[in-house]
Structure 1
Amino acid sequence: MDILIVEDEAEIAQLIQLYLEKEGFSCRTCRDGITALQIFQEQKPDLIILDLMIPGLDGLEVCARIRQKPGTKDPFILMLTARGEELDRIIGLSTGADDYLVKPFSPKELVARVRALLRRTLRQGGQTETYRTQHFLVDVDQRSAQRYLTEHQLEALDLTTLEFDLLSTFMSYPGRVWNRTQLIDKLWGSNFFGDERVVDTHIARLRKKIEPDPSNPTFVKTVIGVGYKFDDPVVQ
């Protein structure tokens, strides 16, 4: 697995690289946002450790630009920051970060979070399920998601890794109500670290891509006081 470390403090970057390479990961470092985007385009890392406060483009802007690039490899993003305020954490997650770690942090905790994120990809191995509802078709093995425009015409959905995992999870149990804890356990596993509200952020992003009116969702519905459910008739 290839990891890009974007951190302008050389000692911190070297420490992160040292611990990750001990665990068998291949790492590259850079110190500014513009270089980070260039490396992302050239090397397509599996995961990016991204400091919030970096020269050039800050971490939020780098994260947003990566998530806006259709058709490219969609890496996991672990955001680092010296700030601990809740607002910064929410903004980081809303731009597309998968997890968030506040400095100072334990290198062992960082390694555990990296493994937890990458495990989400590994856990898909061996699955061959295909889910079809009236409006959507998902192939878990091929990791493709499509929307029916007509009975015989399909349109590919440009989903991030987590958006795809959310949609396939919902479609595997249509009508089931999921709370945040259950979705976290399904998608992240027992090694999840972070704020449960990251689920709400990614639900909102998924709705923007599959709902005719995201503010009044037809498919991914909120069950007040409980969680979310997927409402679309199954097609055999």
Structure 2
Amino acid sequence: MKVEDYKVLLVDDEPDILEFVSYNMRKEGFQVLTANNGQEAIAIAEAELPELIILDVMMPEMDGIETCEEMKKIPALKNSIIAFLTARGEDYSQIAGFDAGADDYITKPIKPKVLISRAKALLKRYRSGDEMPETNESHIIKIGDLTIDRERYLVINAGEELILPKKEFELLVLLVSKPEKVFTRDEIYNTVWGDNIIVGDRTIDVHIRKLREKIGQDHIKTIKGVGYKYVV
């Protein structure tokens, strides 16, 4: 897809920020939609199905974290990439963002060219079904009590259906693709997030913690100083 084929939804309660960012993204060729609150953003996202959603964290009534959580519950938006653009750079705020299912966290201030570059890097991963290693000829992966349907983005763990955020899903698929193999942190970053995307040091740790909460603490092992592996 070309840049002009992508829809980007910008969500911020500050009109000046919306105007500035949308101007620069339209100048680059993106189709830009805007919303100034979470409820409006959800309605627009459901109607327009943007490939990329850039959310401010601090908004009245429904903040960015809550908005992201609600969007992640909408099946039609399962492939939409969500990034936070915010002045809040504290660890706890970033962790809250990733816990909500966000794919990236961008802190203000940021130069327009850098933001455009980050947006393009994120969009390179949109619906890239070939980015994860194939474990067999089928889109169904079975290992122990775990069944993963890659086409439906569905995980069944011991009979319980789980709908995981996109990055959690991709991380799990990577780990189960080669049980007992230790994936280094660099391998995980490059495969799941892309080597041209800058994310915080805690990103993998947060996603691993969320996966353990959902599929059990014993399946994903930490290899100190190296990375992680999946054990049956």
| Cross-structure match for 1:194 | 199
| Cross-structure match for 1:219 | 219
CA deviation profile, 1:140-172 (whole Å, cap 9, x unmatched): 4x25444364xxxx6543122112211111121
Where 1:52 maps in the other structure, the secondary structure is coil
- Listed as ranges, the matches of 1:45-56 within 5 Å are 45-56=50-61
CA deviation profile, 1:16-69 (whole Å, cap 9, x unmatched): 2223233432220011122112223333322211011223212122123223x1
For the structure 1 residues 23 and 124, does the alpha-carbon distance in structure 2 shift closer, same or farther, using more than 3 Å as the test? farther
Residue among 210, 214, 235 paired with 2:215: 210
| Cross-structure match for 1:71 | 75
| Cross-structure match for 2:170 | 165
Distance, in Å, in 1 between the alignment partners of 2:149 and 2:66 is: 32
Where 2:50 maps in the other structure, the secondary structure is coil
| Cross-structure match for 2:3 | none
Distance, in Å, in 2 between the alignment partners of 1:57 and 1:124 is: 32
In structure 1, stretches of 5+ residues that fail to align are 212-216
Checking the alignment, whether the CA contact within 8 Å between 1:63 and 1:77 is kept in structure 2 is: yes
| Cross-structure match for 1:184 | 189
Q: How far does residue 125 in structure 1 lie from its aligned partner after superposition?
A: 4.1
Read off the aligned partner of 2:147 and give its amino acid letter.
L
Distance, in Å, in 2 between the alignment partners of 1:52 and 1:146 is: 29
Read off the aligned partner of 1:57 and give its amino acid letter.
M
In structure 2, stretches of 5+ residues that fail to align are 1-5
Distance, in Å, in 2 between the alignment partners of 1:174 and 1:181 is: 18
For the structure 1 residues 143 and 109, does the alpha-carbon distance in structure 2 shift closer, same or farther, using more than 3 Å as the test? farther
For the structure 1 residues 63 and 139, does the alpha-carbon distance in structure 2 shift closer, same or farther, using more than 3 Å as the test? closer
Distance, in Å, in 1 between the alignment partners of 2:214 and 2:28 is: 36
RMSD between aligned alpha carbons?
2.4
How many residues of Structure 1 are paired with residues of Structure 2 in the alignment? 221
For the structure 1 residues 194 and 173, does the alpha-carbon distance in structure 2 shift closer, same or farther, using more than 3 Å as the test? same
Checking the alignment, whether the CA contact within 8 Å between 1:132 and 1:138 is kept in structure 2 is: yes
| Cross-structure match for 1:229 | 229
Identity across the alignment (%):
37
TM-score (norm 2): 0.82
Distance, in Å, in 1 between the alignment partners of 2:55 and 2:97 is: 10
Where 2:77 maps in the other structure, the secondary structure is coil
Residue 89 of structure 1 pairs with residue 94 of structure 2:
yes
TM-score (norm 1): 0.81
| Cross-structure match for 1:132 | 142
Residue 29 of structure 1 pairs with residue 39 of structure 2:
no
Distance, in Å, in 2 between the alignment partners of 1:97 and 1:159 is: 12
For the structure 1 residues 138 and 90, does the alpha-carbon distance in structure 2 shift closer, same or farther, using more than 3 Å as the test? closer
Checking the alignment, whether the CA contact within 8 Å between 1:5 and 1:49 is kept in structure 2 is: yes
